Structure formats: C-alpha cells, structure tokens
Structure 1
Amino acid sequence: MPTPKITPKNPAFDFTKYRPFEFAPHLPDRTWCDKRIEKAPIWASVDLRDGNQALIDPMTIEQKLKFFKLLVAVGFKEIEIGFPSAAQVEFDFTRLLIEGGHVPDDVTLQVLVQAREHLIERTFESLKGAKRAIVHVYNSTSRVQRDKVYQLDKDGIKAIAVGGATLLRDIAKRYPETEWIFQYSPESFSQTETDFAVEVCQAVCDVWRPQDGQKVILNLPATVEASTPNLYADQIEYFCRHLPSRKDVIVSLHTHNDRGCGVAASELGVMAGADRVEGTLLGNGERTGNMDILTMAMNLYTQGVDPELDLSQVSEIVQVATDCTNLPVHPRHAYVGELVFTAFSGSHQDAIKKSLDYNEKHPETEQHWDVAYLPIDPVHIGRSYQDVVRINSQSGKGGAAYILQRHYGFDLPRWTQIDFAKVVQNQAESLARELKTDELLDIFTKTYLTQETFKLSDYQINNRGGDVSFNGQIATPTDVLEIIGQGNGALSAFIDGLVKATGKDIHVTNYSEHAINTKATESLLDDELGDNQTNSAAAAYVQLNVAGKVYSGIGVCSSTVSAMLKGVLSALSQSW
C-alpha cells in the first residue's frame, strides 16, 4: 500500500474567520444542570418531512406510507408527514393517509407551512377530514436571516410571525370538524437573540390565546447547531422563564447535528424545561442530520426510564428505514450499528465473558444489567449474543473462549484459553481478516480433537485398594505402543505407562473436566461418541509438561475416563 501524500496546509483553513457563539443569554443561576430526565418527552417524528427533504431521491408515496406505518408501530403519536402546500405528491400523500384510514385515532398528523396565505389555505385543504392535526407555521428570526435574507428589522420579522398566526387562526375556523393544534417555530432560534425569540413567540401566543383553550406548541429549533449543548440549554431555560404564556404552551425542541451534539443538546434542553422533542430515526436530515430520536430514546432506556417507544426489534426498524431512504447505517452507529455490541479487543472480550459468567452464577444478586463494555443487553432489542464477541488478530483469550462456550458448550480453563488464543491469533493474522464462528470451531477441532498422531485402542483399568493399573495400546503413525503403568488413579497410571513406552519425561501440570451437552455439538461429537449417544458427554482439558515444555490437549467422549485419556494424547501429540 503506497504511503499517502500529505499536502501542505491550505491557507484557506483560517480559524480567525470565525467568532465565538454570541447568542447565549446571561444565566448565572441556571438550574438545568442539577436535573435528570425521569420521563420521556413527547416524541414527534419528522422523518417524512425533514428526513425526506434531505434525501438525494425523495421517498415515493409507497415508501412514505411504509415508513409512516413503521412510525405508528414504534409508538409515535405525533408524526410530521410533509409540506402539502409545496408539492402535489405531498398533498396527495396527506389525502391518502386521511381518506385511506391509515391514521389511528391516537396519532396526530403534523404538517409544515410557511407564513403565507395561499400556502396556509392549501395546507388546510390537504387536512380536510382529519380527526386531529398540528399545523406548523414558521419564519426565520435570526440576525443573519433578518439582515441578509429578508433585509427586515425585528418589527418586520415579528409582523410575519403574527400574520402567519392570524391566518392559521382564521382559516382553521372553516374546518370545525377537526381538532386543530397550532405550532410556531422561530426558525434559526439557536442563532436568534433569546429575548427577541421570547418577544416573537409571545406575540404569536397573543394571537392564538392558548390560555383560552387553543392548544399551542412553540418549537425552538437549533436549525444550525452553532454552540455547545450547554449554551442551547441556557437558551431554553431562559426562554421558559421569560415567556409570559409558558404555563399554557408546550415547548418543543428541534435540534440539528452540525457540531455532532444534536442528541446531547436535546437532552439538556429537556432538562432545561422543554416538553417535546422533534427528530428522526437514525438522525437523517439536512447537512449532518437531525437529532436521532432512536439514540435519545435508548439513552433513556439505559437509565431505567421508559422511552415510550417500542424499540425491542431495532434491526427490523433499521431495515425498514434504510429500505425507504436508501441510506446506509454506519456499523458503529449508537445502539443499532452492526458492530456496536461487538468486541474485538482481547481485554474487552475477557471482561465481557467474566461478567456474563458471574451473572449466570449469581442470578439472585443481579437484578439489573451490569456487564463490562455492554451498556444494554443486546437481547432486549432483538440482537443476538453472537454479535457481542468477534475474532480477529486483536482478539485475546476471552473472545475465542466466549464463542466456544456460548455456541458449543466448551468451558475452556484459563491455561487452555491462553494456548488456543495463540493459535487463533496466528490464523487471523495469516488470513488478515476476521474469523467466522464456524471457522473458529474448525480451528479448535483440528488443533485438539481430531489429532491423528495417537489412537487409543482397547484398555483396561484395575483398581485394587487404591493401587490403579492401566493396560492398553495406542497406535502411532509408525508403531503400536503397549501402555502398562501404575498409579494412584487412572490418569497417573496412564502417564506412568506413557513415560515407560516413549522414554519421555511427562508430567500433568493442569487438569479440568466438565459435562457437555451433545445437542450443542451434535455434529462435532458424532465421531467421538460413536454408538454411545447420550444427552451429555464429558470434555477433559489436560496440560502436560513434556521434556520441559508445556502443551495443552482436549478430549471428548461419553465416558469421563476416555475423555481424560484422549485429552492426554491430544496434548502429547502437540509435542510429537
């Protein structure tokens, strides 16, 4: 691989062209930083509007309907479905949902519209017959928009907001069969002087009069994320404190991800007093995206807070979302990426294995999830434990041991783990890629269980008052050895016979055994068990010191003694 060329620093990369964020209010007595989120906010999905407008190829009506049904199934009660006055396809989709009976009684449609009369009239037409709907009107209020886009002063901008609010109020009266909820956004709130944002929103409330029963949502967008999340939280807390109509309105957030902190900003904004959060599944949206509702909801879940969304089958949610948007999901995307519950690091794998083993042995003390490197149990969101540990050249002893234990029932003692880890690492390095689970089992089998160097023939073990004798034969590639030995047990008698037959200095340094379920390793054990098929067999782990060097072996058989003897020969074959 050629060495990449590093070009000289681009002189256009000039940080002096930027200035620190200047729109944060003075709030020395802020209270949000001492709070916790103890209840899920009202969630509002904008996948079908914000998310859709950010796609290279916008969704078809069929894809939007499929996505809408997904959002309903997940549990969203407020769904912004589009901008029906902006395009015929958006208008037609709105009519399809209403006339086709696709909107459950407990779900509220939301639509977006600019503060212009003909657009507002068209929007209400699209919603005719809806049981309940949110009409979301907006206009930009930031200094840069006032000065350079609209070229209006603050009074001119406020007049646009008041005019739009008045139109909504008056036109809604033509459709009394629908329960109307009005929503106003001072677009680019994050780059608006907070006092002015309060002034504009209160002027809108003066038109809508929420104190008289008209439901009102004030949505405060970080249209461009321009500050750290704590400063956005200051803006939200200041707004909530100073808005005269605060007790009569729902304060909503709509954060973007330009600085990569959209989720954090919404979390702190809720702590600062907001009631509602708009976002998209997986964070799709303009530029770097909208706030990822799935991530924020799962963050609540990990803290023992009911997210009030059903994310138990997250892989299915991701599949539908990617099918409809044609956008891939990064393998490291929080909670849903292919690799987020996967450990390649040896130390991580070892810690996961030990944590899970501990929890299995102490179920009475483990009432809450507490496993190293796993913030949640993957099973809770429809993922499998096979996702947790995967093997490459960076993996340690714990990873391979975990897979062999979870998938095949082999509980390798530490000294066997160390020995096998070296074999696995060498294989992964030679292939220069990750090893699959079946490949790992194949390596394990060839290394320990199917060695051809020694074959045990018929044998007899006699025990006379604690004096054990062994008499049998083993076949080598070139000879048949008579094994005759004595000891205080079958193992020591067999070793004694091997020492005499081979002339080698052989000592057992470690030994371990356990029962193994043949169902977990049925195909693997067929040859080992022959006609003696039972529900369980024995796995024996033997570590030998042969002429000063240490070797590990494993034997499997329906008989514990035969498994032990095979384990000895497996280890001995490593030295031959």
Structure 2
Amino acid sequence: MFRRTAVAFQKQVKRVPYANMLRDPSSKYKRFQGISLPDRTWPNNKLDKAPRWLATDLRDGNQSLPDPMSVEQKKEYFHKLTEIGLKEIEVAFPSASQTDFDFTRYAVTHAPDDVSIQVLVQSREHLIRRTIDSLKDAKKAIVHTYMATSDLFRNVVFGMSRQDQLKMAVKTAKFVRSLTKDDPSKNMTHWSYEFSPECFSSTPTEYAVEICKAVKDAWEPSKENPIIFNLPATIEMSTPNVYADQIEYFSRHIGDRDHVVISLHSHNDRGCGVAATELALLAGGDRVEGFYLVTVKEQEMLIW
C-alpha cells in the first residue's frame, strides 16, 4: 500500500520513483562496536534477589503517552504507586513548567516518609536551583542530572571535548551538593544524587567510567548513601548481551563499588528491553528504572 502510494505521488510530480534509493541500504550502516570482554562472568550468574525499582511512570512514562495524564490523574496514580509499596518514584521535571513544579510539591507533601521523590534536571544552574526549590522539606529526595556522552552528541550537538564535558559534569555535581547535603538549612532531607551518562550504550565504555568516576569523587558518596549511576540504553542499538558486557565492564572499573548503585534504564527499539535489563542485572545492575503500570508507545520500555 505504502509503496503504491509513494510511486503514484512520485509520478504525479514527474519524478522517477525511488531513483535516489540505495540498492543495498545496509551498506550505509557500520557494525555496532561493542567492547571486548572475553572473561565476562555474567552468563554464569543467577538472579537471587530483586533489584531496587524506580517507578518513572509519572515522568518518562507520562511523556511517552500520546495523551498524557492530567494533574488529577497523576495525583491518583502517585497514590496508587505508594499504595502498592514502591519506595522510589520519579515524579516530574520541575524546572520544565509550573505544572511540573506544582506536582512535585504535591508529591513531596503527600509522600510517605520512607518514599524517595526523584526529579530530573539538566546541568544548568538556574534550572537546578528551581528543581531544589521544588523539593523543599522532602523527607527523602533524589536529584537526577544527565548529560549525553556519546561521541555523536558530544562532538556534533555540544561541540565539547571529553575534558570539557567532564569538567561540566563535576561542576554540576558540586553545585547540586552545595544546595543539598552541604547546606545546613536542608539537613532535614535525606539527599541522594543520580547521574546519567545519557546514551551510555553508544558511549565508549571507558569514557563512561571516566566521567562517572569524576562525578563520584565530586559527590563523595558513602556505603550508607551511595551515588546512583543510571546507565541507559537510550537507543537500543545492539543485542542484550552487548549491553550486559558494558554493564559488567562498568561495574568492574568504577571503583568503590559498595558506594555505587548501578541503575538500568533500557528501551525497546528492537523489542529486547526486558531481556537487556535481565542480562544487565546478571552483569552487576542493582536497580531498574521502568514503568510499573503505564502502557507506552513501542520504543519505550515496560517491565513487569
């Protein structure tokens, strides 16, 4: 049907149908370059405990819906998640809009004392300030910053060297720290920090380790309050075993492993989101970010 329609349209505008198409489109793509890990151990591991779970239904899940939830629906959904017993909930992008800010305030004031409210923010100081304001008086809060670290994003979109980006990530972590756990006026809140090297699965793994090590040193986590590194398969570009290799490599090399939580956030572009997550748990993942109830569009992920 599509081909016939396209051909008819091309003839109407007096063009030769498919004249500019490659005979073999596969030739334009390079093979995905994974990492070499011949001594991988994850295939022999077994899952013997449940991972930590971050419900991101209200943030990532909601933004993926063709018809996002209203504020009242989000409130009802939030209470359902806490009723189920989920302890880590990403609720919003509070610096993005007044609506998201207000909903974060609602979540903070209505969350049970043992529930961590997580929010997402870019690495921009004025946005971070706004985000921290939204978490005022929270019992437990997780500030989640991110930075796309793949060569494509770093070179083409940001025009930054590795060292420039690393310095920015460290500066961001120190700034968040100054407004949270180092601020005596905010010591009633239990602050945690999460950093995402966005596009982790297409980032050179040794560079992902390097930038996360620098962020870890800047935040100075502890065994009692570890830093969270979210390692997303932002675009599913390979088979699940490759993602598992990347996670095992990261887990081996990040250092101070008991001060670090490895969080997994896979996507379903190739239909392997659940498989990638399960293998990555075998490889060292501690935490899963996913949607508990929301049914979302095809390229997002729904686990369990």
Calculate the TM-score normalised by the size of structure 2: 0.89
Counterpart of 2:151, as a letter, is R
Question: Which letter does structure 2 place at the counterpart of 1:132?
Answer: K
- Paired residue type of 1:239: F
Residue 202, structure 1, aligned to residue 210, structure 2: no
For the pair shown, the structure with the greater C-alpha radius of gyration is: 1
Does residue 162 (structure 1) correspond to residue 178 (structure 2)? The answer is no
1:29 aligns with 2:39: yes
**What does 1:410-449 correspond to in 2, within 5 Å?**
none
**Secondary structure class of the residue paired with 2:229:** strand
Q: What is the aligned partner in structure 1 of residue 153 from structure 2?
A: 145
Pick aligned residue for 1:184 from 184, 189, 195 = 195
In the superposition, relative to structure 1, how do residues 29 and 125 fare at CA in structure 2: closer, same or farther (>3 Å)?
A: same
Who is 2:292 aligned against? 281
1:252 pairs with 2:260: no
One-letter amino acid matched to 2:243: Y
Determine if contact 2:121/2:131 at 8 Å carries over to the other structure: yes
Deviation of the 1:58 alpha carbon: 2.5
Cα drift, residue 287 of structure 1:
6.0
Residue 179 of structure 2: aligned partner: 171
Which residue of structure 2 lines up, in the alignment, with residue 125 of structure 1?
A: 133
Structure 2: runs of 5 or more not aligned: 8-16
Instruction: Tell me, in whole angstroms, the C-alpha distance in 1 between the residues paired with 2:69 and 2:126.
Output: 25
Given that residues 50 and 285 in structure 1 are in contact (C-alpha distance below 8 angstroms), is that contact kept between their aligned partners in structure 2?
no
**Residues 51 and 286 in structure 1, CA contact (< 8 A), matched pair in contact too:** no
Mapped to 2, the partners of 1:225 and 1:142 lie a distance apart of 14
Instruction: Quote how far apart the aligned CAs of 1:209 are.
Output: 1.1
Alpha-carbon separation, structure 1, partners of 2:245 and 2:197? 17
The residue identity in structure 2 corresponding to 1:196 is Y
The 8 Å contact of residues 49 and 82 in structure 1, kept in 2 or not, is answered as yes
**Partner SS, residue 210 of structure 1:** coil
Instruction: Return 5+ residue gaps in structure 1 as ranges.
Output: 295-576
Question: Which of the numbers 54, 78, 91 marks the counterpart of 2:64?
Answer: 54
2:241 to 230, 233, 241: 230
CA drift at 1:225? 0.9
Query: What is the CA distance between 1:248 and its match in structure 2?
Result: 1.0
The Cα of 1:51 is off from its aligned counterpart by 1.1
Q: What secondary structure, in the 3-state scheme, does the structure 2 residue paired with 1:64 have?
A: helix
Equivalents in 2 of 1:207, 1:285: separation in Å? 36
**How much has 1:73 moved relative to structure 2?**
2.4
Alpha-carbon distance in structure 1 between the residues aligned to 2:253 and 2:2: 55
CA root-mean-square deviation: 2.0
Cα distance in 2 between the residues matched to 1:52 and 1:293: 15
1:76-103 C-alpha deviation (Å, 9 max, x unpaired): 110100110111100000111223xx21
* Equivalent position SS for 2:131: helix
Measured against aligned partners, the alpha-carbon deviations of 1:334-357 in whole angstroms (never above 9, x if no partner) come to xxxxxxxxxxxxxxxxxxxxxxxx
Which string of whole-angstrom CA distances, capped at 9 and with x for unpartnered residues, describes residues 358-412 of structure 1? xxxxxxxxxxxxxxxxxxxxxxxxxxxxxxxxxxxxxxxxxxxxxxxxxxxxxxx
- State the SS of the aligned residue for 2:48: coil
The correspondence for 1:14, drawn from 2, 25, 29, is 25
> TM-score, normalised to structure 1's length?
0.48
Q: Work out whether residues 205 and 245 of structure 1, in 8 Å CA contact, stay in contact via their aligned partners in 2.
A: no
After superposition, give the CA deviation of every residue in 1:284-339 in whole Å (9 maximum; x if it has no partner): 5576112x222xxxxxxxxxxxxxxxxxxxxxxxxxxxxxxxxxxxxxxxxxxxxx
Query: 1:202-221 to 2 correspondence within 5 Å?
Result: 202-211=213-222, 214-221=225-232
- 1:451-490 map, 5 Å: none
Which of 74, 90, 95 matches 2:84?
A: 74
- Listed one character per residue, the Cα deviations across residues 252-289 of structure 1 (whole Å, up to 9, x for unaligned) are 10111111111100000000011000011356557611
Distance 1:53 1:185 in 2: 18
Aligned residue for 1:536? none
The ranges of structure 1 where at least 4 consecutive aligned residues each deviate by more than 2 angstroms after the TM superposition are 4-13, 55-58, 211-215, 281-287
Give deviations 1:184-242, integer Å, cap 9, x for gaps.
11011010000000000000000111147543111101111111000000000000001
Whether 1:45 aligns to 2:23 is: no
Read off the aligned partner of 2:70 and give its amino acid letter.
Answer: T
Q: Aligned with 2:35: secondary structure?
A: coil
